[in-house]
């Protein structure tokens, strides 16, 4: 069989780049070459992070390249309206030129493109250049299925053509037997109180229009977690959980998708804590609190009187409240999350319910306190709390704040629930089996996908 060269194109956000980097490493392990395409801005961050942690890659296996994102240097890349508008107006042309330049240099021709769902327009570029492609979705299959059904939801009168909800719509059920979804939790409606969702909805509709140009639809999930969705949409190929390797021989997969340097000092600190004692607190790469909510979180961690490991990103501009002692905790700017969650000292995870964090938590048997921030995280919270029953939800008060007292109450409730702990460990066994060499699910699907690539 020939060695295929696969171009991998993630959406320019940490939660998308990271799983596609892990997927790229798996493709390499199965005998493919990868050209990994970041935006110029994110490429600089990834390369800088690798240099700080003294990691390098074998460019004969994975080559890092970049294209412009269409934004100005000082533009806010957390502004998803601006990101989507710039992406669709500039990146298709840039991607086409990149591929033509690679081919023009006489290097290995790109034989396949794997594009993020949110970059599905790349399938049009691929078709124009005679290259086959696949779509990868780094979140739940249920959200994938919902987006694919946007045209049907409009035709059926469930949502308006601009993505807004009809006043009579309360829940959405894509097929009999599937979990009903809260209509108000559709992710494009949950991008923030002040965000105009219509440009984001229009961008998603544009991506949906290109889906059927793809040969395969890949998703970072497992059949056991979402059997009803995957039965109803058999074209979605489950290849999750995509877990980062932390063995000493594979530095590439540890660092390829990271925007920030991981603070490994937290691992030594965890070694000094009693088993099952530490609350891990992390809200991903985008979540931002205002000062009042930040204060409540800090004081709530004090109030629990338990050791905690809290990730506070460097872009956090807030100040710790004067009453905050924090003497039982450790605060880092970025952590090796999967390794942290696997540590025996961890008791639970206070999380924003991003899908990467969800899969990492499930893979390590850790129960959750749910604190979703935006987008599909609202659905993830409902699914994992109500369907899988390994989480409790932190609920805001009348002032729309999650209070320090709510944090203490729910944490005590979670840690005293032996059934939830047992359920978490049961799900861990099910999920991890999917990625083992003997697994009958996701590992076999990846092998099948690569075999098809090579043929």
pTM above 0.95, yes or no: no
Q: How do the residues of the chain divide into helix, strand and coil, expressed in percent and rounded to 5? A: 45, 15, 40
For every one of its 455 residues, what pLDDT tens digit does the chain have, with 9 covering 90 and above?
A: 578 999 999 999 999 999 999 999 999 999 999 999 999 999 999 998 888 887 778 878 999 999 999 999 889 988 889 999 999 999 999 999 999 999 988 777 899 999 999 999 999 999 999 999 999 999 999 999 999 999 988 988 888 899 888 767 778 887 776 777 777 778 888 776 667 888 999 999 999 999 999 999 999 999 989 998 899 889 999 999 998 875 544 544 556 788 889 999 999 999 999 999 999 999 998 888 999 999 999 999 999 999 999 999 988 889 999 999 999 999 999 999 999 999 999 999 999 999 999 999 999 999 999 999 888 888 888 887 777 888 899 999 999 999 999 999 999 999 999 999 999 999 999 888 877 766 568 888 999 999 989 88
CATH architecture of the domain with range 263-416? 3-Layer(aba) Sandwich (3.40)
Cis preceding linkage at 241, omega within 30: yes
CATH superfamily of 5-246+437-454: Glycogen Phosphorylase B; (3.40.50.2000)
Per-domain boundaries in the chain: 5-246+437-454, 263-416
Which residue has 């991981």 as its token pair? 262
- From start to end of 40-120, where are the E strands? 62-67, 112-116
Asked if 361 and 343 count as a contact pair (C-beta separation under 8 A), the reply is no
Same fold, 5-246+437-454 and 263-416: yes
| Closest residue by Cα to residue 239 from 36, 447, 72, 430 | 447
Strands 33-39 and 5-9, bridge-based pairing: parallel
Strands 181-182 and 171-172, bridge-based pairing: antiparallel
| Closest residue by Cα to residue 339 from 438, 414, 250 | 250
The radius of gyration of the chain's CA atoms, rounded to the nearest angstrom, is: 22
Write out pLDDT tens, residues 341-367.
999 999 999 999 999 999 999 999 999
Instruction: Calculate the alpha carbon distances from 79 to 12, 162, 196, 197, 286 in Å.
Output: 12, 20, 11, 11, 10
Distance CA 203, CA 147 (A): 11
Write out pLDDT tens, residues 413-435.
999 999 999 999 999 998 888 77
């Amino acid at each position: 069989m020939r060695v295929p060269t696969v171009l991998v194109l993630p959406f320019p956000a940490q939660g998308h780049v990271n799983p596609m980097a892990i997927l790229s490493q798996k493709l390499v392990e199965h005998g493919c070459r990868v050209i990994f395409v970041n935006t110029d801005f994110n490429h600089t961050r990834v390369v800088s992070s690798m240099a700080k942690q003294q990691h390098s890659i074998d460019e004969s296996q994975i080559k890092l390249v970049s294209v412009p994102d269409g934004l100005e240097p000082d533009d806010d890349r957390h502004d998803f309206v601006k990101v989507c508008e710039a992406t669709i107006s500039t990146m298709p042309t840039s991607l086409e030129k990149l591929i033509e330049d690679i081919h023009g240099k006489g290097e290995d021709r790109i034989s396949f493109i794997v594009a993020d769902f949110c970059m599905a327009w790349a399938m049009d570029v691929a078709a124009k250049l005679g290259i086959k492609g696949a779509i990868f979705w780094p979140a739940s299959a249920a959200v994938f299925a919902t987006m694919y059904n946007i045209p049907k939801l409009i035709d059926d009168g469930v949502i308006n053509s601009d993505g807004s909800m009809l006043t009579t719509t309360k829940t959405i059920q894509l097929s009999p037997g599937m979990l009903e979804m809260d209509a108000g939790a559709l992710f494009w409606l949950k991008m923030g109180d002040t965000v105009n969702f219509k440009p984001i909805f229009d961008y998603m509709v544009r991506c949906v229009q290109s889906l059927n140009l793809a040969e395969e639809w890949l998703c970072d999930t497992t059949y056991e977690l979402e059997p009803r969705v995957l039965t109803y949409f058999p074209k979605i190929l489950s290849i999750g959980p995509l877990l980062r390797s932390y063995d000493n021989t594979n530095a590439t997969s540890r660092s390829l998708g990271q925007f920030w340097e991981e603070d490994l000092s937290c691992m030594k600190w965890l070694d000094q804590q009693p088993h099952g004692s530490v609350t891990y607190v992390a809200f991903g790469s985008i979540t931002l609190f205002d000062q009042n909510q930040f204060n409540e979180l800090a004081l709530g961690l004090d109030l629990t009187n338990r050791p905690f490991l809290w990730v506070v990103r460097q872009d956090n501009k807030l100040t710790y409240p004067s009453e905050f002692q924090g003497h039982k905790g450790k605060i880092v700017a970025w952590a090796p999350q999967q390794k942290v969650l696997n540590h025996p000292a961890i008791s639970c995870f206070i999380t924003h319910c991003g899908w990467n964090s969800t899969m990492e938590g499930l893979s390590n048997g850790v129960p959750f306190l749910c604190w979703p921030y935006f987008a599909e995280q609202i659905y993830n919270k409902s699914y994992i709390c109500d369907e899988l029953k390994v989480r409790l939800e932190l609920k805001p008060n009348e002032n729309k704040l999650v209070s320090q007292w709510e944090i203490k109450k729910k944490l005590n409730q979670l840690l005293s629930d032996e059934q939830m702990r047992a359920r978490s460990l049961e799900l861990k066994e099910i999920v991890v089996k999917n990625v083992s060499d003997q697994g009958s699910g996701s590992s076999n699907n990846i092998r099948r996908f690569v075999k098809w690539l090579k043929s």
